[in-house]
């Protein structure tokens, strides 16, 4: 009975809490309609992508290794204890005919402290190497961020490009459907042939096919974007989540090759990570060379021994000691030299990798600048073409409705407008993507757009 009452009280209490709680806390992965901006997409990606979690764990591991290296400054204290049953036989040399058998118990305990005083400066070198490894892991995290932001930005703009194509196709379809309706009215009253009606019907169906193709590209791109953002499988990205496209004035970037290269030298995380790795290997090499020197230890301890029923009596011993020990590996069969040579080879390999990264950075910056400049100039030309083509289409449409222009001319004008609109939208998005690549090439430094 008491148990049932307790369950009832808990249930009422939980219900009261649910009512008092008001609205639930916001889902960190919530994607409200019209609010999926590029900044929001990058924020979710950096928070949930498994690559970020892996990079953070590498930092934790490097910090744990540093704690291990710092422990070399502290003494090692070891305790020991034992209990042994002994069956001993004693036969003195001076009396061969006498043999004494004895059984007794032995108990022992002790504690020892060993403190490393000198090891050829290997201890200091290992600590410095661990600190450089932490810096290398942190730069690795920044590198993961740089690559994720680059990938998310490019994918986001590809999705926007697909939306632009969907919008253009839908406008083309609606335009031809309106003309089809007008042509059908004229055909019914006998002022237009049926072929004119079918012409606009075909054009509308073709525009519908273009819309479906753009929609397919949008869905595929959104799937890739959802994977980068590490969204749950049932969490889909739809077109309604993207804010409406507004006409924006695009300004040409102000970046130059010299300025970009200078920024990359101080900002690229992959370059900083390699530099930290080189410093860590140099310290590891110095630590390994320290094994050629002797190791000096301060040793002290306390031992206790108790022997029960030994020769009919109990014996008890205890002693303390303190001193300095020296250990020097005079010959190791080439093991030390092999380790030194292996670390030296790793160091040379990492230095060559740094040269490779420098070449890659130089090429990426040059290519990104060329692509961005070309994309901007292309956008200007395509935007002018779209503006002129739109004016031409309006004039031809008016002329067609007035009976001056032919159907063929109207089809040509509409086709030109659709192509120009698609090319203008594509060039605008490609310029945005080019700026993303340029931003990533210099290490994520904000660019003026």
Could you read off the pLDDT of 64-105 as tens digits, one per residue? 999 999 999 999 999 999 999 888 777 766 766 777 677 888
- pLDDT, greater one: 15 or 375: 375
pLDDT for the residue numbered 129? 96
pLDDT for the residue numbered 415? 87
pLDDT for the residue numbered 164? 87
Could you read off the pLDDT of 93-136 as tens digits, one per residue? 676 677 767 788 889 999 999 999 999 999 999 999 999 999 99
Cα(412)–Cα(432) distance, integer angstroms: 30
Within this chain, do residues 308 and 276 fall inside the same structural domain, yes or no?
no
Cα(419)–Cα(343) distance, integer angstroms: 60
pLDDT band at 47 (very low <50, low <70, confident <90, very high): very high
Within this chain, do residues 125 and 113 fall inside the same structural domain, yes or no?
no
pLDDT for the residue numbered 9? 31
Number of domains in the chain: 2
Cα(103)–Cα(311) distance, integer angstroms: 9
- The residues near 214 (Cβ < 8 Å, ≥ 6 apart) are 162, 163, 165, 166, 169
Within this chain, do residues 265 and 401 fall inside the same structural domain, yes or no?
yes
DSSP 3-state assignment of 318?
A: strand
Cα(397)–Cα(405) distance, integer angstroms: 8
Query: What mean pLDDT is predicted for residues 423-448?
Result: 82
Cα(134)–Cα(151) distance, integer angstroms: 26
With the CA atoms of 7, 13, 19 and 20 taken in that order, what torsion angle do they form, in degrees rounded to the nearest 10? -160
Q: Which of 54-68, 130-144, 268-282, 400-414 has the lowest mean pLDDT?
A: 400-414
With the CA atoms of 91, 97, 103 and 104 taken in that order, what torsion angle do they form, in degrees rounded to the nearest 10? -50
Does the pLDDT of residue 23 top 50, yes or no? Answer: no
pLDDT for the residue numbered 213? 93
**Is 256 domain-assigned?**
yes
Q: Are 393 and 412 in contact (CB under 8 A)?
A: no
With the CA atoms of 98, 101, 102 and 108 taken in that order, what torsion angle do they form, in degrees rounded to the nearest 10? 100
Query: What mean pLDDT is predicted for residues 234-240?
Result: 75
| Nearest CA-CA partner of 172 in 148, 135, 200, 195 | 200
pLDDT for the residue numbered 246? 62
Does the pLDDT of residue 311 top 80, yes or no? Answer: no
DSSP state of 25: P
| Nearest CA-CA partner of 448 in 435, 434, 430, 431 | 435
Does the pLDDT of residue 22 top 90, yes or no? Answer: no
| Nearest CA-CA partner of 170 in 126, 134, 218, 125 | 218
Within this chain, do residues 301 and 287 fall inside the same structural domain, yes or no?
no
pLDDT band at 62 (very low <50, low <70, confident <90, very high): very high
Could you read off the pLDDT of 409-434 as tens digits, one per residue? 888 888 888 888 888 888 888 999 99
Does the pLDDT of residue 286 top 90, yes or no? Answer: yes
In terms of C-beta density within 10 A (0-12 exposed, 13-18 middle, 19 or more buried), how is residue 189 classed? exposed
Q: Are 242 and 36 in contact (CB under 8 A)?
A: yes
Within this chain, do residues 309 and 435 fall inside the same structural domain, yes or no?
no
**Is 31 domain-assigned?**
no
Within this chain, do residues 213 and 160 fall inside the same structural domain, yes or no?
yes
pLDDT for the residue numbered 191? 79
Within this chain, do residues 350 and 312 fall inside the same structural domain, yes or no?
no
Q: 0.85 cut: is pTM over it?
A: no
| Nearest CA-CA partner of 221 in 156, 164, 170 | 156
**Is 2 domain-assigned?**
no
Q: Are 144 and 53 in contact (CB under 8 A)?
A: no
| Nearest CA-CA partner of 142 in 46, 229, 45, 280 | 46
Cα(284)–Cα(278) distance, integer angstroms: 10
In terms of C-beta density within 10 A (0-12 exposed, 13-18 middle, 19 or more buried), how is residue 433 classed? buried
pLDDT for the residue numbered 247? 55
**Is 323 domain-assigned?**
yes
Within this chain, do residues 191 and 83 fall inside the same structural domain, yes or no?
no
CA 358 to chain centre: 21
Cα(164)–Cα(379) distance, integer angstroms: 15
Residue 299, φ and ψ in degrees, nearest 5: -125, 135
Buried b (16+ CB within 10 A) or exposed e, 324-341: eeeeeeeeeeeeeeebee
Query: What mean pLDDT is predicted for residues 327-347?
Result: 93
Could you read off the pLDDT of 147-189 as tens digits, one per residue? 999 999 999 999 988 988 888 888 888 888 888 888 888 888 8
Cα(23)–Cα(127) distance, integer angstroms: 51
Cα(129)–Cα(156) distance, integer angstroms: 40
DSSP 3-state assignment of 337?
A: helix
Domain boundaries, position 110? 76-91+100-118+297-327
Angle at 152 between CA 26 and CA 55, to 5 degrees: 80
Does the pLDDT of residue 7 top 60, yes or no? Answer: no
Q: Which of 144-158, 199-213, 303-317 has the lowest mean pLDDT?
A: 303-317
Say which CATH number the domain at 108 has. 2.20.200
Within this chain, do residues 83 and 209 fall inside the same structural domain, yes or no?
no
Query: What mean pLDDT is predicted for residues 256-268?
Result: 92
Q: Tell me how crowded residue 170 is: count the other CB atoms within 10 A of its CB.
A: 16
Query: What mean pLDDT is predicted for residues 197-204?
Result: 87
**Is 10 domain-assigned?**
no
Cα(360)–Cα(260) distance, integer angstroms: 14
Cα(418)–Cα(17) distance, integer angstroms: 58
Within this chain, do residues 133 and 183 fall inside the same structural domain, yes or no?
yes
- pLDDT, greater one: 103 or 268: 268
Could you read off the pLDDT of 239-255 as tens digits, one per residue? 788 776 665 668 888 88
**Is 426 domain-assigned?**
yes
Within this chain, do residues 189 and 301 fall inside the same structural domain, yes or no?
no
Within this chain, do residues 404 and 304 fall inside the same structural domain, yes or no?
no
What are 252's strand-pairing partners?
none
Could you read off the pLDDT of 343-402 as tens digits, one per residue? 999 999 999 999 999 999 999 999 999 999 999 999 999 889 989 999 998 998 888 888
pLDDT for the residue numbered 109? 95
pLDDT for the residue numbered 344? 95
Q: Chain-wide mean pLDDT for the chain?
A: 85
**Is 231 domain-assigned?**
yes
**Is 447 domain-assigned?**
no
Does the pLDDT of residue 289 top 60, yes or no? Answer: yes
pLDDT band at 63 (very low <50, low <70, confident <90, very high): very high
Cα(69)–Cα(65) distance, integer angstroms: 6
| Nearest CA-CA partner of 179 in 202, 156, 161, 163 | 202
Helices (H) then strands (E): counts for the chain: 9, 4
pLDDT for the residue numbered 74? 95
pLDDT for the residue numbered 167? 87
Say which CATH number the domain at 260 has. 1.20.1600.10
């Amino acid at each position: 009975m008491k148990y049932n009452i307790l369950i009832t009280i808990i249930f009422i209490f939980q219900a009261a809490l649910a009512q008092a709680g008001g609205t639930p806390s916001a889902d960190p992965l919530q994607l409200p309609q019209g609010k999926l901006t590029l900044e929001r997409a990058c924020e979710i990606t950096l928070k949930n992508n498994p690559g970020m979690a892996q990079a953070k764990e590498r930092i934790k591991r490097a910090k744990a290794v540093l704690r291990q290296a710092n422990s070399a400054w502290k003494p090692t204290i070891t305790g020991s204890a034992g209990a042994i049953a002994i069956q001993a036989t004693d036969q003195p040399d001076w009396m061969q005919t006498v043999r004494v058998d004895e059984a007794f118990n032995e108990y022992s305990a002790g504690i020892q402290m060993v403190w490393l005083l000198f090891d050829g400066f290997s201890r200091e070198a290992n600590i410095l190497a661990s600190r450089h490894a932490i810096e290398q892991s942190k730069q690795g995290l920044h590198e993961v961020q740089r690559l994720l932001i680059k990938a998310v930005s490019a994918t986001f703009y590809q999705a926007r490009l697909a939306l632009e194509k969907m919008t253009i196709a839908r406008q083309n379809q609606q335009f031809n459907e309106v003309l089809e309706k007008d042509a059908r009215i004229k055909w019914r009253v006998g002022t237009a042939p049926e072929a004119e009606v079918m012409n606009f019907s075909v054009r509308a169906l073709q525009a519908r096919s273009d819309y479906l193709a753009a929609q397919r590209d949008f869905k595929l791109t959104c799937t890739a974007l959802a994977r980068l953002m590490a969204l749950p499988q049932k969490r889909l990205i739809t077109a309604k989540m993207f804010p409406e496209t507004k006409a924006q004035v695009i300004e040409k970037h102000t970046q130059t090759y010299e300025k970009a290269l200078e920024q990359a030298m101080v900002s690229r995380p992959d370059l900083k990570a390699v530099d930290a790795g080189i410093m860590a290997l140099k310290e590891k090499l110095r630590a390994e060379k320290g094994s050629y020197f002797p190791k000096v230890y301060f040793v002290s301890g306390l031992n206790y021994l108790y022997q029960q029923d030994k020769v009919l009596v109990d014996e008890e011993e205890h002693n303390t000691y303190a001193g300095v020990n020296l250990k020097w590996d005079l010959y190791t069969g080439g093991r030390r030299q092999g380790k030194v040579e292996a670390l030296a080879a790793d160091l040379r390999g990492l230095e060559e990798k740094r040269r490779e990264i420098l070449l890659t950075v130089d090429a990426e910056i040059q290519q990104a600048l060329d692509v961005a400049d070309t994309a901007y100039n292309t956008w200007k030309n395509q935007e002018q073409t779209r503006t002129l083509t739109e004016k031409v289409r309006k004039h031809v449409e008016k002329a067609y409705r007035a009976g001056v222009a032919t159907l063929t001319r109207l089809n040509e004008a509409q086709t030109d407008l659709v192509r120009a609109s698609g090319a203008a939208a594509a060039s605008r998005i490609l310029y945005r993507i080019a700026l993303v690549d340029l931003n990533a090439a210099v290490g994520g430094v904000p660019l003026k757009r």
